[in-house]
Structure formats: C-alpha cells, structure tokens
A and B are shown apart, each in its own frame.
Chain A
Amino acid sequence: MKHFNVLTLFVLVMTAAAIGPAGTVCAREVTVDLASARVDITTGFTGATLVLHGVKKEPGDLAIVVRGPERRVVVRRKEQVLGMWMNRSSVEFLDVPSYYDYALSVPEPRLAEPVVLADNEIGLNSLDFQPTNESDPEEVRSFKEALIWNQISAGLYPLEPGNVVYLTDNFFRATFDMPSNVPTGEYTISTYLFQSGNVKAIDRTTLRVAQTGFSADLYDFAHNRSLVYGLMAVFLAIASGWAANTFLRRD
C-alpha cells in the first residue's frame, strides 16, 4: 500500500504539473484509490473485479475510465471469392486500447457535450484510433465499428457504461468486471470531475495486470528461452507417451 501512496502522490503531482498555473483545475478536488493496484493472473484465473473508491471535495459529476495498454490491431473483412468467404480488405489501427471500460455518475448526455467527452476519450464513440494507411473515411469507419463490436463481444469493451455509486455525498465507489481474457500490461484509470459540462479535475492512477506464479514463469520461459522450452515440451511429450505405453499396456 505504501508503494501505491507514493504512486498516487506522483500522479497527483504530475497532473498538477501538466495542467500548470494557467489552469484553474486542481487535482486534489478528486482522488481515487484502488482496493488493489494490481490484478494477478494465476492458473485458476477466471476474471477479476476491480474495486475503486474515491473522494471529491466539490460538487459535480463523475466519469471514470479504465484503459488497457494500446495495441496495433488489424481488422480484416471477408468477401466472397470464387464462392469462398475469405479475408480481402484490411485496415490496421494504431493505439487501440486492448481494454476499455467506463463508469458514470449521470447519463452521458447530462455529463457534458459530445465534443468535451470526445476530447477526454470518454465513451466508445469518442475512442479515436488512427489507421496506419490513408483510406476512404467511410471504409475506415465501418472497420472501426467492427473492431469495437468485436471487442465488446470479447468482453473487453463495455456494452454500456457502469455506475459510479455515491456512498455519501462526496465518497464514491465504482466496480469494473474484467474477463479472463483480459490483456496484460499497464492500465490507466482516469477519474474526471465535471462541473456544468466542463472538466474541473482529473485524477490518474495506474494498474498492473500481469500473470504471476506458475503461469508467469511458463510465459517467460516460453518467450525468453524458447529453444529450451520447445525441447522440454517435446521431452515431456515423449516421456508421457512412453509412460502411457509402458504402464498402461495390457498385452
């Protein structure tokens, strides 16, 4: 927990520094804390629930956004060729959040204008990932929609935003459910305090999603010493094949 406090402090300082003296925004107006600053993926991992508590010192509405590490994603579309459905056209997007979820204290329209939401990347409509190659915008949009829909079906994007629940006037809680196929890496959690449709304060914190224990060891082994890993996998297979034949034989 000590580590986490230092991190929060660091984030607060960074936020304050980034906004600078010209801004009226003060980061201390909203602060959040995670029940745990990391999600451990073990062999029995079936998903995780992220619990987040926070305090705000001023009135206003809240939006909390959880973003996973960004990935390059290729989206392909099948077309019929010689009677067969095969991948034909494709669009590659940079900076696609591998995970995205958000929670709001009031419905989207009451929070702020779509432009403001888009600037802060709140909501699926405001997600802005760029294609690597110049192509027809109409075409790009249909690929982007397909990508978002695909992520929703995989449980990595939300169908609709969650709720920020007020425990008292200023003390709030939000929970996010992560599926078992949650991508690993560094996540950012941004909490926005809105006052009359404008961002009044932002708090940012990070979350680490990583395999631990046996899973992590095996993953590292497979990626860092792949030849030894491959040989070991084959050896284990030979040994089990031999054992099966030797000990279970009946003739």
Chain B
Amino acid sequence: MQVYLPIAEMTVDAEAILLLGTIVGVLSGLFGVGGGFMTTPFLIFMGLPPAVAVGTQANQLVASSVSGVLGHWRRGNVDFKMGAVMLAGSIVGSFIGVLIFRLLQHLGQIDLAIQILYVVLLGTIGTLMLIESVITLLKKDNREARGARQHAWMRALPYKMRFPRSRLYISALLPGGIGFVGGLLVSIMGIGGGFLLVPAMIYILGMPILLVAGTSLFQIIFTTAFAAVLHAVLNHTVDLVLAMLLIAGGVIGAQVGVRLARKVKGAVARVILAVLVLIVSLELAGELLIKPTDLYSTTVR
C-alpha cells in the first residue's frame, strides 16, 4: 500500500516502512537497544530526506524507550537520580546538536557528518563489542563483572554527588557529560545512543550493570522527546505518518524480540548485534570512500 507522507512530501511503501520498524523492533526487544542506528540509514537509503529521517526517528525512539523502560521500572532497575543528572547534560547536548544539524545542513555537509559519525562510532563500538563477546563466549564465563575502577582525574572532578541507588559518590560532571554526548547524538544522528551510553555508564561511571539499561532508557525518553520537539519546531521535519508506521512495526517486532531473547544467550546475542553494527558501518564507509556514481546532489532552498 502506497502512503503519502505529508511532511516528507513523497509517497512510500507502507509495508516497507512497517517491515523496517518490525525488524528494528525485534532488535530492540532482543538486544535492548533502540535500533536507531539501523532505521536512519535505511530511511535515507529509501530516499527520505536525511532531515526527515533524523527528526522522525527521534520521535519513534520515544515510543520504543517508553515501552522498554516500563519493564525495568517495574523491577526497580532505574536509578532516577542518575538519570536526571544525565538528562540535564543531554538537554544541553540535544539543543546544541539541533543547531549543529542546521548549520551542517546549510553548509551541505550534513550527509557527510552523519556518515562519518556512523562509521567512527559504530565501527569502534561494533569492534569492541565483537571482541568482548567473542572472548566471553570462548571463556564460557557468563558472570557479568562490575565496571572498571575510576581514573584518578575522574575522582578529582568537582560537584560530587551521592547516587544511593547505584551506591556511587562521583562528580555530577561525569553523568552530565555522558548525557551531553548522548544528546548530541540524538539530534545529529537520530539515534538514542544507548549503544554508547551503556558502555560509558559501565566503564566510566562504574554503575551496577543491572541498573544501566533501565537508567539509560529512562534518560533517552526525555532526550529523544526534547529532540523531536526541537526538530518539529525548528526544522519541521517530524513526519507523524512515518513515525506512526515505524512505531506500529516496532511494537510488533519488540514482542517477537523479547520472546527470542529468552532463547538466545547474552554473549551470542551480542555477537549478532556487533556483526550488524559493523555491517552498517562498513556499508556507510563504502559510500564515503568509493567514488559515487553521481557526484552531484541537489537541495531545494
């Protein structure tokens, strides 16, 4: 069924978008990630303007993170205080990110920026995740360790705060800074940034692993909501029809993913996710490095 997207001002195949939403939903149910890293490139590949892909994706992530956080909340696995401090940083980050997005769009470099960020971030995270999960599989050791000890300079930072839920006494600048980077990513790349926040919370903050997923999702709800509203107001790039199709697919997919997750071992799931992440980053690296067939691109002002 063909559906006209009023904001993107083009017709898309509704089934294709639903399918994309479902696949991403399966991933998010299976791995506990938002899956934005796959949606944005695919939407752009389908011919949607990058700005609409990013703006709409931010809105779709609100739905998937709300749905995800509720389960963690019920089990008491959300550190709200930590989430709130990260949120303060991410609000600043997403505001600056939207401004950077506009600037890059004006300069004609937004596609390049999105590509480089994807290649560098996904490439790095994917490689690290692959190494880590393969080592875990080989060692047949399923104990999840608590994060590394903090470096001396991190302990020397001012504005120390107590986080009773995580049993941490650390500078508020650390979670705030991590949130800031997360906010930038949401606005510029249209991804929730969970795949970056989760390791940062484990290795930099030293948070208990049990609390990490719920807390990052809690924070991502607000960051993506803020970014979606900013994109809607400043760039008019949130397409509700597109968002609803993605959300509908995501809801169905997430249920499948959650059921699958019970059958797949954590480390195996991480290998699959790492390979997917690497495929997407290699694909984008190819676009960046191989001479494009059409050197020219046009933008309507």
Contacts and interface: CB of A to CB of B under 8 A. Distances in A.
Interface stretch (B126-134, B170-178, B186-194, B284-292): B284-292
Interface SS of B by simple majority: helix
Nearest to A45: B4
A240 B66 CA distance: 9
A149 B298 CA distance: 10
B297 A87 contact: yes
Contact of A245 (B67, B298, B300): B67
Given A237-B66, A241-B63, A211 B6 contact: yes
Interface in B246-284: 247-248, 251, 254-255, 259
A134 B107 CA distance: 19
Interface string A141-162: 0010011011100000000000
B40 interface: no
B233 A86 contact: no
A140 to B, nearest CB: 13
A43 B233 CA distance: 23
Query: What is the interface residue range for chain A against chain B?
Result: 35 or more
A218 B60 CA distance: 17
B102 to A, nearest CB: 14
Interface residues of B, number: 58
B297 A44 contact: no
B4 A43 contact: yes
B298 A73 contact: yes
B144 interface: no
28 contacts: A42-B4, A72-B301, A74-B299, A76-B297, A76-B299, A83-B289, A85-B289, A90-B108, A92-B301, A98-B300, A222-B236, A222-B240, A226-B236, A229-B238, A233-B59, A233-B229, A233-B232, A234-B225, A238-B225, A240-B244, A241-B63, A241-B66, A241-B247, A245-B67, A245-B70, A245-B71, A248-B251, A250-B259
Interface of A: 41-47, 71-80, 83-87, 90, 92, 98, 143, 146-147, 149-151, 180-181, 183-184, 211, 214-216, 218-219, 222-223, 226-227, 229-231, 233-234, 236-238, 240-242, 244-246, 248-251
